[in-house]
Structure 1
């Protein structure tokens, strides 16, 4: 099975501007709709004009491969991922032009065989700066996080849409370690001859101790705090993470877009333990560190989702293990890849994680706190990546676990 990758694409109005510029038509409709926010009332009131635009633009995208910056960039990115299962996620701004454009682009891509998801991002507009910051950016981050599975299965395409998004999208891509693309060229043109730029990843280090220190404060800020000055005095808060906080009137406080990015990462933050001087200290682990990091993240995500989907958030670790290893006796869902080659009574498990031609196996155990309703420890004892002996590694894992279960972890 090929690895799934979603091309998350911001949608602007280049489809309209290209059409009006080249075809010399639809100018009145364009001028009417260009500053209008998307809402059901506007859709009803201007139905005739909208339907007229749809008809013109449908024919335009069929005949013109360079009809919009979004279409050209999506095709170029997809061409670099022929070994992957590609889906497209269109994120339209809360404007009539972006909404109509995204609809037309979705229809066209579906005729080309793509699976396409499409959402209008509430608050993503440029008429109200405060709403853009407090609602639009936060919702944009939320949808990218959702569609990319926390950054693991997505690439970000910022060729279309508001240029004000690019600084935030750049930080987001760096934090979530997502590839980000931009089709370089004239703003109102979309020729496929333009080069596709991929933004490089920077070596960022995040001080997670600050987030651990202020975990409860960050959760309160995510919900919104009415009197920030009083709250700071009560909780003795310093300015360690002031860059993550915004205020409406100088009195209230909430996480800004940067804060929301970190908050989502912190929610998934999980301490992973490995054996001191064990397999993860060897050269093979260093060579495959990117693959291992991603697959350990997928293991934690799969384990967390299994617990939630089986209604086990208040269960003990023993009850979770019983459900995972004996689903037919406990009326549970098959844990599948989480318990590969597992036997009843095992205290260790094998995570089977195929990756588009690269096979990965992780030998692990975990602890779970039913009071906190969270994983408290995940221990990775050993791994296999790439070419390995499929007939012997399971026995090797079991033997290694018995020999090292009591060794020091770090």
Structure 2
């Protein structure tokens, strides 16, 4: 069975061969990106990676496994026979830091030499700079999982999370996240005699009733912060509270990303939006539930923008994703008909009247534009 292996990438490649003094310097600058990293640290990183790259490309498996926790897990998964990886694909997940990105590049180069298909992925804002930035990075990683893994799963891939590498705070989250996305976790402890540990996914059942009665609020909250008074009864584990506002917590976003495809099969009433029968018909004709979710998430964004800007439709024109505009010569009852984007190819036509947006048609660009 072909496998998709998602490996978290740490910095053991350069910290292992570094001296104590060098490790201290690397740790002090571990969250730096290339643009704000001191030149002396860049030179140190280049020196260490230069020596380790040569070592990886000329050593036997035992040396490689000692040098890289990530490759230790990968070699363990294949029983040191990398020729059996020909049908598999590897994602290498790195922090948004110079050290993390360089580490992923070295692992990718090694796998590439072995003719193993792989791709590094740097998670935006994934650093341990502070709690808020780290949390935002985890949410970006969740979004990437949600957009990426389902396609491989539907194509018959076994999903493996290799958590042998990576830093501990990330592993703590991914051990739980893997129970939602992976078929199993693999891990090897730091010991020459340690064997590969495989942890299968546990059967997790989510209580959908928590979300079913508040779909509109969860849709809005997944897009933007809400005033706590608008949603005071929400379960505390699903949110982070910032002053008088709430946002979905990492765990809230994780669970919502899983249940939304089960629950968002029909139109959901949202503030300032009116669904005309023609739009209802277009939505009901959508077969792919992921497409329905994308439409509803865009509508939640539109609703939030109107709510936070005194129902001023001009705010939709300023948004680079929506690109709202009126048709030049199309009016109904002397009210202009406009349209906005769902994505590159899909549009929604609408009219703004009485401080509400009346949605008329949804579909491909030409379908909507030819008869808005």
Q: Same fold per TM (> 0.5)?
A: yes
Unaligned runs of 5+ in 1: 21-25, 273-298, 316-369, 374-410
- Residues 33 and 40 (structure 1), Cα distance of their counterparts in 2 relative to 1, 3 Å cut: same
Pair 1:54-2:45 in alignment: no
- Residues 301 and 309 (structure 1), Cα distance of their counterparts in 2 relative to 1, 3 Å cut: farther
Q: Distance in 2 between matches of 1:311 and 1:114?
A: 34
Q: Distance in 2 between matches of 1:151 and 1:238?
A: 37
Deviation at 1:35, TM superposition (A): 2.7
Q: Distance in 2 between matches of 1:162 and 1:83?
A: 26
**RMSD of aligned Cα (Å):** 3.5
Partner of 2:262 in structure 1? 269
Q: Distance in 2 between matches of 1:121 and 1:83?
A: 25
Pair 1:116-2:118 in alignment: yes
Partner of 1:287 in structure 2? none
Q: Distance in 2 between matches of 1:108 and 1:238?
A: 51
The answer as to whether partners of 2:183 and 2:200 remain within 8 angstroms in 1 is no
Q: Distance in 2 between matches of 1:92 and 1:34?
A: 16
Deviation at 1:124, TM superposition (A): 2.4
Deviation at 1:89, TM superposition (A): 0.8
Deviation at 1:254, TM superposition (A): 0.7
Partner of 1:348 in structure 2? none
Partner of 1:363 in structure 2? none
- Residues 141 and 178 (structure 1), Cα distance of their counterparts in 2 relative to 1, 3 Å cut: farther
Q: Distance in 2 between matches of 1:30 and 1:171?
A: 30
The answer as to whether partners of 1:6 and 1:86 remain within 8 angstroms in 2 is yes
Q: Distance in 2 between matches of 1:138 and 1:213?
A: 24
Partner of 1:142 in structure 2? 143
TM-score (norm 1): 0.57
Match of 1:6 among 4, 10, 15: 4
The answer as to whether partners of 2:8 and 2:165 remain within 8 angstroms in 1 is yes
Deviation at 1:138, TM superposition (A): 0.8
Q: Distance in 2 between matches of 1:202 and 1:114?
A: 29
Deviation at 1:304, TM superposition (A): 7.8
TM alignment of 1:385-404, pairs within 5 A: none
After superposition, give the CA deviation of every residue in 1:33-56 in whole Å (9 maximum; x if it has no partner).
223223231357344333222211
Partner of 1:384 in structure 2? none
Q: Distance in 2 between matches of 1:202 and 1:123?
A: 29
- Residues 312 and 121 (structure 1), Cα distance of their counterparts in 2 relative to 1, 3 Å cut: closer
- Residues 260 and 178 (structure 1), Cα distance of their counterparts in 2 relative to 1, 3 Å cut: farther
Secondary structure of the equivalent of 1:88?
A: strand
Q: Distance in 2 between matches of 1:227 and 1:131?
A: 21
Aligned length: 273
Higher RCO (C-alpha under 8 Å, 6+ residues apart): 1
Secondary structure of the equivalent of 1:90?
A: strand
Q: Distance in 1 between matches of 2:194 and 2:362?
A: 52
Match of 1:162 among 152, 162, 167: 167
Unaligned runs of 5+ in 2: 266-286, 296-341, 350-359, 364-372
Pair 1:17-2:4 in alignment: no
The answer as to whether partners of 1:34 and 1:97 remain within 8 angstroms in 2 is no
TM-score (norm 2): 0.63
Deviation at 1:244, TM superposition (A): 0.9
Q: Distance in 1 between matches of 2:128 and 2:211?
A: 31
The answer as to whether partners of 2:86 and 2:115 remain within 8 angstroms in 1 is no
Q: Distance in 2 between matches of 1:65 and 1:94?
A: 25
